[in-house]
């Protein structure tokens, strides 16, 4: 009798732990989604120096224009203005020491 009661309680505990783990896993995914979306929703201002992702590499740049819909026109530092482009906010991050710089203008 005691073994059946213990087994029953262990089953309930296992179910509760599994449910808690499932909730936490879902919660942590939501937090990471919120974190990534909040970093892409940063409002950048004209003239701010930033890193801009281009083709998988982060380059030093500057915000030239703020456009609607989380879009920004950027200039890549050290590159001719012909390389300026409009990018989504998710391709912009705060300036870091590790980003690359062009060798031209």
Domain extents in the chain: 1-40, 49-94
Region 1-10: mean pLDDT is: 66
Helix, strand or coil, per DSSP, at residue 71: strand
pLDDT digits (tens, 9 = 90+) for 11-67: 666 655 555 444 444 443 333 333 333 344 578 999 999 999 999 999 999 999 999
Note whether 41 and 95 are within 8 A (CB). Answer: no
Give the CA dihedral 56, 57, 62, 68, nearest 10 degrees.
10
Tell which phi-psi region holds residue 69, choosing left (phi > 0), alpha (psi between -120 and 50) or beta. Answer: left
Residue 89 has pLDDT above 80, yes or no: yes
Range 49-94: architecture per CATH:
Roll (2.30)
Distance of CA 94 to the CA centre of its chain: 12
């Amino acid at each position: 009798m005691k073994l059946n009661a213990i087994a029953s309680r262990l089953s309930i505990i296992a179910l509760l732990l599994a449910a808690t783990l499932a909730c936490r896993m879902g919660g942590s995914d939501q937090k990471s989604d919120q974190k990534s979306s909040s970093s892409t929703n940063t409002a950048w201002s004209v003239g701010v120096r930033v890193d801009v992702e281009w083709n998988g590499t982060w380059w030093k740049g500057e915000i030239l224009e703020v456009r609607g819909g989380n879009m920004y026109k950027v200039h890549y530092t050290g590159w001719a203005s012909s390389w300026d482009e409009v990018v989504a906010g998710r391709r912009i991050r705060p300036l870091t020491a590790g980003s690359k710089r062009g060798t031209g203008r």
